[in-house]
Amino acid sequence: MCELFGMSSKLPTNVTFSISVFGERGGHRGPHRDGWGIAFNEGHDFRIIKEAAPASDSACLRFIEGHDFKSRIVISHIRRASDPTSPSFTNSHPFARELYGLTHVFAHNGDVRSVFADSRFAPNYYFAQGDTDSERAFCSLMDRLRAALSPDTAVDLSVKLPIIEEWALEVSKFGIFNFLLSDSRYLYAHRSTHLFYVQRECVSLVSNPMPRCVGGLTQEMWAPWRRHMKPSLMHLFLSFLKLGASAFGEPASVKWRLNRSDGLMIR
């Protein structure tokens, strides 16, 4: 299966210290050779870079590592295709669609191919450009959001979150449905298997108006996400694999978490 890594931060920060490790799993220290992608939030939009090639051999990824791209929300993905004939740019994650002036970005780990046979997920306004079950599922969510929301409610969680939750529950019945989703303001994470996190509170705003984390994430304790967590943090990192050491057991049964881009836990 594919692998996912995400970040939500109170202030713009970079992820170069972890992207290099994550990228090594894309063909060098892992079997995920069928594409990679990363999305950096930029206001109401995202800077998206992706390729249908191994991340471990990518000059584009080396370029990202060497430049100080800062963002409040980051979603990244390395792909191991279910169908070995399907690697292509259009099948590489993350996928993006616009709704009411806000770019929505989605990346998925798992296998939910039954969405193609279920009429509830047939495209209406948003159509897939590739042929993955991931993009088909994402487009069905965007259709539902477009039908139910307005420009005034595009980030109203009281209206939006129940739609996402219902959709995630329906798709999860088809198979493994780990995903990261962002609407340019919030980072949503859903898991069918494992979700691990690291949280950091870095240099204080008093001593440094542009705080940043120093060092990688591979030596820290990646804990399983547990119910009712309400961390006080500056940076929250999410992964569906352990990027480093962990002495923790299996994750608890909770499947749904939401994190605001200002670092406060909402649900």
Give the active site residue among 2, 60, 139, 202: 2
- Is 2 a residue of the active site? yes
Residue 188's H or E segment, with its range, is strand 186-190
Torsion over CA of 43, 19, 255 and 2, rounded to 10 degrees? 110
CB 175 within 8 A of CB 117: no
Q: Which of 38, 85, 84, 40 is nearest to 58 (CA)?
A: 38
Whether the CB-CB separation of 243 and 18 falls below 8 Å is answered with yes
| Residue 105 backbone dihedrals phi, psi, to 5 degrees | -125, 140
**Which element (helix H / strand E) includes 158?**
helix 157-172
H or E element at residue 16: helix 16-24
* Pairwise CA distance, residues 136 & 97, whole Å: 12
Positions marked catalytic:
2
